[in-house]
Amino acid sequence: MYRQGDVLIVPVAQEAVPAHAAHAPRERRDGRGRLVLALGEVTGHAHAVVGPGELVREPGPYGPLLLHLPQGGRVVHEEHAAIALPKGWFRVVRQREYVPGSVRIVAD
């Protein structure tokens, strides 16, 4: 497992990748060519992957992301040390917090 701030990145065995991932829409890269895992609402900084790969959003309001890195990659952020990831599939989960009456994704 890997963590960078409020983003958790968990390796997923190829056999455990949901079948819908093959046909799900891919997230687009930002203007800098990065796959953005989480954008900081307050700071504007981003947890992002540089290098080749695909990012698939899973269904649901807090649907985690599936990240495929065929050659490995690096997760970067302006305020955190970069994290090297091996090649493979990963589930990307944003940290959540409880506020009275609801659950929300933590704002960076």
Q: In the chain, where are the structural domains located? A: 2-66+87-105
Q: pLDDT confidence of 103, banded at 50, 70, 90?
A: very low
Q: pLDDT confidence of 11, banded at 50, 70, 90?
A: very high
Which stretches within 7-102 are classed as H helix? Answer: none
Q: Which residue has the higher pLDDT, 108 or 28?
A: 28
Partners of residue 94 on adjacent β-strands: 7
> Is residue 55 predicted with pLDDT exceeding 90?
no
Taking the C-alpha atoms of residue 50 and residue 26, their distance in angstroms, rounded to an integer, is 16
Q: Which residue has the higher pLDDT, 26 or 13?
A: 13
Which pLDDT score, from 0 to 100, does residue 95 have?
Answer: 64
Q: With CA atoms as reference, report the closest residue to 92 among 37, 35, 46.
A: 37
Which pLDDT score, from 0 to 100, does residue 60 have?
Answer: 64
Counting Cα atoms < 13 Å in the Cβ hemisphere of 25 gives 4
Which pLDDT score, from 0 to 100, does residue 104 have?
Answer: 44
> Is residue 41 predicted with pLDDT exceeding 60?
yes
Q: pLDDT confidence of 62, banded at 50, 70, 90?
A: low
